[in-house]
Amino acid sequence: MLSKKIEKGLNEQIGLEAYSSSYYMAIATWCAANGYNGIAKYLYHHSDEEREHMLKIYSYMNEAGAQAITPKIDKPPAEQKSVRAGIQAALKHEMKVTASINSLADVSMKEKDYTTFNFLQWFIKEQLEEENQFRSILSKIDLVGTDSKGLYMIDKEMGKKVDNS
Ligand code: OFO
């Protein structure tokens, strides 16, 4: 049985994962509209993964006899200043998600809810991977700067990542 505090925290996390999914869709469509089809493909795929994260929490809550609350999703920004700005925004958002997962893990530990603490371990590991992925795209973009050929290669590589996943 989940405590009210844990239930609230998990529902908030559902909201954050739902927003992540929507946010990456918004950055993806901007990328596609601006010629970065590979990065768009990568972000659309990532958006699907975020929905899966959200559903993971639904399943866990249901299994624990609780009801997940389907969140209202805020409208993400439609515009990006550049492809770099879009990826930077995604990284910043992931850091916020990591902080939220960590604080939920902290609460579950304090509440002696070891089942939820254990459930959150998957997310803790996933956050490390996701932050790392966005950081690595950002470093590649920084390496080529505004060189269009370099950006083209990065874009192509990002699209291939989805095909190979
Ligand atoms: Fe759900 O991992 Fe990103 O936000």
CATH number at residue 138: 1.20.1260.10
Are the C-beta atoms of 24 and 18 separated by less than 8 Å?
no
Return the pLDDT at 145: 86
H-only helix segments in the chain = 4-33, 37-63, 83-110, 114-144, 148-163
Task: Say what the pTM is.
Answer: 0.95
Domain total for the chain?
Answer: 1
Query: 152 alpha carbon to ligand 1 midpoint, in Å?
Result: 26
Q: Which two tokens stand for residue 112?
A: 């002696």
Examine the pLDDT at 160 and tell me if it is beyond 80. yes
CA 113/CA 96 separation, integer angstroms: 23
**If pLDDT is split at 50, 70 and 90, which confidence band does 147 have?**
confident
Task: Please tell me whether residue 36 adopts helix, strand or coil conformation.
Answer: coil
Residues 6 or more apart in contact with residue 145 via CB below 8 angstroms:
none
pLDDT of residue 164: 82
Which tens digits make up the pLDDT trace of 3-37? Answer: 999 999 999 999 999 999 999 999 999 999 999 99
Q: Is the CB of 94 under 6 A from ligand 1?
A: yes
- Measured over the CA atoms of residue 36, residue 32, residue 93 and residue 158, the dihedral's sign is negative
Mean pLDDT across the chain, nearest whole number?
97
Q: In this structure, how many other beta carbons lie within 10 angstroms of the beta carbon of residue 164?
A: 5
Nearest CA to ligand 1 atom 3: 94
Q: Residue 38 corresponds to which tokens in the numbers above?
A: 């590979």
CA distance 70 to 29: 24
Structural domain of 151: 4-163
Is the pLDDT reported for residue 165 higher than 80? no
CA distance 83 to 101: 27
Is residue 44 pLDDT above 90, yes or no? yes
pLDDT above 90 covers what percent of the chain?
95
Q: Which of 10, 13, 14, 17 to mutate to test the pocket of ligand 1 (most atoms within 8 A of CB)?
A: 17
Alpha-carbon torsion angle 53, 6, 117, 92, nearest 10: 50
- Give me the mean pLDDT over the 142-158 stretch: 93
Ligand 1 in reach of 46 Cβ (< 6 A) = no
